[in-house]
Amino acid sequence: MLKYEEVALKIRTLLENGIYKTGERLPSLEQLKADYHVSKSTVIKALEILEKEGYIYQSRGSGIFVRSPKRSGYINLFTSNGFTDDLKDHRITSRVIEVCEIKTPNTELQQRLHLTKQETVYYVQRVRYIDEKVLCIEKSYFRRKLIPYMSEDIAKGSIFQYIEDNLKINIGYSDIYFQISTLNQEEALLLNQTDGAPTLRYEQVFYTQTGVPFDYSQIVFEQSSAKFYIPSIK
Amino acid sequence: MLKYEEVALKIRTLLENGIYKTGERLPSLEQLKADYHVSKSTVIKALEILEKEGYIYQSRGSGIFVRSPKRSGYINLFTSNGFTDDLKDHRITSRVIEVCEIKTPNTELQQRLHLTKQETVYYVQRVRYIDEKVLCIEKSYFRRKLIPYMSEDIAKGSIFQYIEDNLKINIGYSDIYFQISTLNQEEALLLNQTDGAPTLRYEQVFYTQTGVPFDYSQIVFEQSSAKFYIPSIK
């Protein structure tokens, strides 16, 4: 664990256990620096992490404030890196429907993933569950150029963990677009819903830390188990 | 305009006009500092703004990268400060349904806004339109302690602009929670939809820069005009 992650972990523990309370002001940068015997830039990095997780809000000039704790079971869409990470208190499992290579990606895929003409992609379709309840259907397209191997076994677990740990790809950021929609017959069947049930139709492109797109995913959610949270700022 | 806002505006203009292209690396902090004849901390503040708007991604160690431009007409939920700000290329208007004072706020309101027993709130219900098309129904509750006056005239325009400009309240951050739902009869009528149409049921609590909640809003969206975007990170 890096120094700043260690400091973040310590402060997070104090926040989660109510030592620092909602609305309270955290100690100043200088104070935290002295408390943890680290450099100012280490404190800044630690606070950045906690800000992104929605624990604190850093106000220019007024200090650092403790935010309200996130309600349990909601997916944080701002730091979402797949669901596994964010819903760590819940059991996320997957049923693999299909894993195959697409030799001739369509125009939409070419555009979203910035594919060159010769490039192919892996296609993975999964139904995902939260605490044994169906959560969503996920259709993901991975660039073979970056993800040279994919299998049903890998898709059963966390694909992102595989990408980070085995392929040593540093995941950077993602663009999320979504809108209100209804399920078609095929989707409804997989989600145990009725044809035409309300859903959220969701698209996400994931990029590496150097801005290279490697995963384009389309997701539809089951109405009752999908709940979302965003720690928004002005 | 503050120095860092000016630098942000200049870089944003270059980004919007394709001088810096998607996937490209921006000049280094040192270079930008020299280019704009400002201090390093001014550059850092300017880049922070552009990062939050989803224009750039700052990777620790690898540099600053240009993100894909946001598709037009989508609401950025990460920096959403009411819709007026984010949809500035679109015409946002409001029809005021009700403005009144609630003398005895219920438990939910008390909780969300951290009300003391004596506190009252203003209730504002509006239907909001984007380019003359219906977008959502918004029911907002404002703490009278912070917003001592509210009227139909104010509610017709941007309430947030009124709060910032006239009441000199600095808006800080907000918590957004939402889930998939269906419209009830009353909502469907106001949104020109059918009873039971799919929607997104959305709750947002806004806080001042020093962490004081002042606005709790419940929103339901019209299916076809509501489109959302989040510039997410790992």
pLDDT score of A83: 64
Answer yes or no: are the C-beta atoms of A151 and A128 closer than 8 Å: no
Test A229 with B175 for CB contact under 8 angstroms: yes
Q: What is the pLDDT of residue B84?
A: 57
Cβ contact, residue pair A175, B205, below 8 Å? no
In chain A, what residues touch B177 (CB-CB under 8 Å)? Answer: 71, 74, 227-229
Nearest to B231 among A23, A175, A199 (CB): A175
Q: Tokens 């404190």 map to which residue?
A: A43
> What residue of B is the nearest CA neighbor of A198?
B198
Residues on chain B touching A80 (C-beta within 8 angstroms): 232
- Residue A182 and residue B198: Cβ atoms within 8 Å? yes
Contacts B205 to A, Cβ<8 Å:
68
What interface predicted TM-score (ipTM) does this complex get?
0.88
What is the predicted pLDDT for the residue at A58?
87
* Structure confidence at residue A220 (pLDDT): 97
| Residue A170: closest C-alpha in chain B | B234
| Amino acid letter, A150 | M
Contact status, residue B141 vs residue B191, Cβ threshold 8 Å = no
Q: Are A232 and B66 a contacting pair at CB < 8 A? A: no
Residue of A nearest to B213 (CA): A23
Q: Which tokens sit at A43?
A: 């404190």
With beta carbons less than 8 A apart as the criterion, state whether B127 and B137 touch: yes
Average pLDDT over all residues of chain A: 91
Q: What is the pLDDT of residue A82?
A: 64
Looking at residue A75, what is its pLDDT?
85
Chain A residues closer than 8 Å to B4 by CB: none
Chain A residues near residue B200 by CB distance under 8 angstroms: 180, 200
Identify whether the C-beta of residue A89 lies closer than 8 Å to the C-beta of residue A47.
no
User: What is the C-alpha end-to-end distance of chain A, expressed in Å?
Assistant: 32
The whole-angstrom distance between B151's CA and the closest CA on chain A is: 24
The pLDDT value recorded for residue B54 is 87
Cα separation of B113 and B107, whole Å?
10
pLDDT on residue B73: 82
Q: What is the pLDDT of residue B80?
A: 64
**Amino acid type, A135:** L
The Cα B137–Cα B35 span in angstroms is 46
End-to-end CA distance of chain B: 32
pLDDT at position A212 over 90: yes
Nearest chain B residue to A176, by CA: B230
Handedness of CA A162, A166, A167, A170 (dihedral sign): positive
And the tokens for A196? 């035409």
CB atoms within 10 A of CB B32: 21
Q: Select from A23, A48, A51 the least CA-distant residue to A233.
A: A51
| Mean pLDDT in order along chain B per 10 residues (234 residues) | 93 93 91 94 89 87 87 81 66 94 96 95 96 94 97 94 93 93 97 96 93 95 92 82
Q: What are phi and psi of B73, to 5 degrees?
A: 90, -5
Chain B residues near residue A212 by CB distance under 8 angstroms: 23
Looking at beta carbons, which residues of chain B come within 8 Å of A198? 180-182, 197-199
CB B46 within 8 A of CB B4: yes
Tally of CA atoms within 13 A in the half-sphere of A61 that contains its CB: 5
| pLDDT confidence of residue B83 | 64
Q: Which residue of A has its CA nearest to B52?
A: A233
How close is the nearest chain B Cα to the Cα of A151, in Å? 24
* Contact criterion met (CB < 8 Å) for B59 and A200: no
The token duo for A120 is: 């192919």
pLDDT in tens, A48-87: 889 888 899 988 778 899 998 888 888 888 876 666 556 6
Measured torsion, CA atoms of residues A218, B60, B27, B50, in degrees rounded to the nearest 10: 60
Residue A234 CB-half CA count within 13 A: 18
Query: Which of B171, B178, B205 lies at the smallest CB-CB distance from A228?
Result: B178
Structure confidence by residue, pLDDT tens digits, A86-103: 666 788 899 999 999 999
